Structure 1
Amino acid sequence: MKGLRWRYTRLPSQMEDALCGEDGEEEDEEDEEEKKEAAAATVPDPEAPVEPQLTEASQVLGASEIRQLSLHLPPRVTGHPWSLAFSTSRDGFSLRRLYRQMEGCSRPVLLVLRDQEGQMFGAFSSSALRLSKGFYGTGETFLFSFAPQLKVFKWTGSNSFFVKGDWDSLMMGSGSGQFGLWLDGDLYHGRSHPCATFNNEVLARQEQFYIRDLEAWVLG
């Protein structure tokens, strides 16, 4: 049939299918974007701290204080569990008992206290608390206080008077005859003064304080 030209007309259903196909492509692109965003949101932040796991509940520190302190701990203990080596509520008020609980341990220790006025403070020691003839420890050692926000007092480098343990007292930080943190043999009475080792403030509300609770956590 010469002279006749066939005209092809797209049916309505075909037009709808075509439009749906175009819309589907756009929706697929949007879905892919949403998936990418969701995947990015679920990737852990490498800068985020790893919250430590405690072998038992602390009577001194809450979850917020634990998270804040973990940010200042050396990388070598990050992500490791905290084991409660000594607690006055469990083991009584005795420095000698604390030393006995630390025997054979060489790992870092977090010492946390709450005094009779409710003030929380303490120290991180790069090694276990023990009897010693002189001061020991490394520059990882620091003092801290929640007053009420966390303040951390790191090593100044001026001296190496980190930790010293006697039968009748435990000392952390020193200079000019004063100690950053001093505890008596009964773990009941303590003192805190500014010292050259850490250039710290008084950790408690007053220079002399009385202990309500004390815990020693072994880290790593």
Structure 2
Amino acid sequence: MNLLYSLDQHGISLSTLYRQAKNTKGPVVLVVKDADDNVFGAFLNETLKAGTRYYGTGECFLWKWNETESQIKTYRWTGKNEYMILSEPDFIAIGGGEGVFGLWLNSELEKGYSQPCPTFDNERLTPDPEFECVELEVWGFRI
């Protein structure tokens, strides 16, 4: 795996994230750490790119680190819809339906929210629906 984007190294910019990730063909892992030290994210079957339509396949999933049990909990595709990845110039959304997103990040990559969504039938990835993003990385696979 190689680091494609990091808030620490590349600054707070969604357009920079898209630029850093654009030459990656394979899957990526999105990792977020919020201000309360919750760690969560998504496995995406293809890289993040600016657009206005959903893309991705049922290989995508959301995940969160369970500190108490020292394990990762995953939320896989339910087949209820195909709202996997929506990465517009102003935000990133993973999973959706019924007016909510499983994981949503704003264009400054500083604020986000998580709600249960039909795509993954996930729990919220954070205790509160809204969170402050303090660390974010995108890792690509070398295949």
Report the RMSD for the aligned CA atoms in angstroms: 0.8
**Offset at residue 180 of structure 1 (A):** 0.2
**Offset at residue 105 of structure 1 (A):** 2.0
3-state SS of the aligned residue for 1:110? strand
Q: Deviations over 1:91-148 (max 9, x none)?
A: 0111111001012222100000100000000000000000122100011100001132
Tell me which protein shows more strand as a share of its residues.
2
CA distance in 2, matches of 1:102, 1:216: 8
Question: Which residue is 2:54 aligned to?
Answer: 135
CA contact (8 A) 2:114 2:129 kept: yes
Residue of 69, 73, 77 corresponding to 1:155? 77
2:129 maps to a residue whose letter is: E
Matches within 5 A, 1:62-101: 82-101=1-20
Which ranges of 4 or more aligned residues in structure 1 deviate by more than 2 Å?
none
**Offset at residue 206 of structure 1 (A):** 0.9
Tell me which protein shows more helix as a share of its residues.
1
CA distance in 1, matches of 2:114, 2:66: 14
**Offset at residue 204 of structure 1 (A):** 1.1
2:10 maps to a residue whose letter is: D
Question: Which residue is 1:26 aligned to?
Answer: none
Question: Which residue is 1:188 aligned to?
Answer: 110
TM (norm. structure 2) is 0.94
Question: Which residue is 1:219 aligned to?
Answer: 141
CA distance in 1, matches of 2:63, 2:34: 14
Gaps of 5+ in 2: none
2:82 maps to a residue whose letter is: S
Question: Which residue is 1:54 aligned to?
Answer: none
CA distance in 2, matches of 1:205, 1:212: 16
Question: Which residue is 1:198 aligned to?
Answer: 120
3-state SS of the aligned residue for 1:106? coil
How many aligned positions are there?
A: 139
3-state SS of the aligned residue for 2:80? coil
Question: Which residue is 1:3 aligned to?
Answer: none
Bigger relative contact order (CA 8 A; separation at least 6): 2
1:180 maps to a residue whose letter is: G
CA distance in 2, matches of 1:216, 1:183: 13
Q: Deviations over 1:159-218 (max 9, x none)?
A: 100001111100100010100000000000000000000000000121100011000000
3-state SS of the aligned residue for 1:104? coil
3-state SS of the aligned residue for 1:97? helix
CA distance in 2, matches of 1:86, 1:104: 12
1:177 maps to a residue whose letter is: G
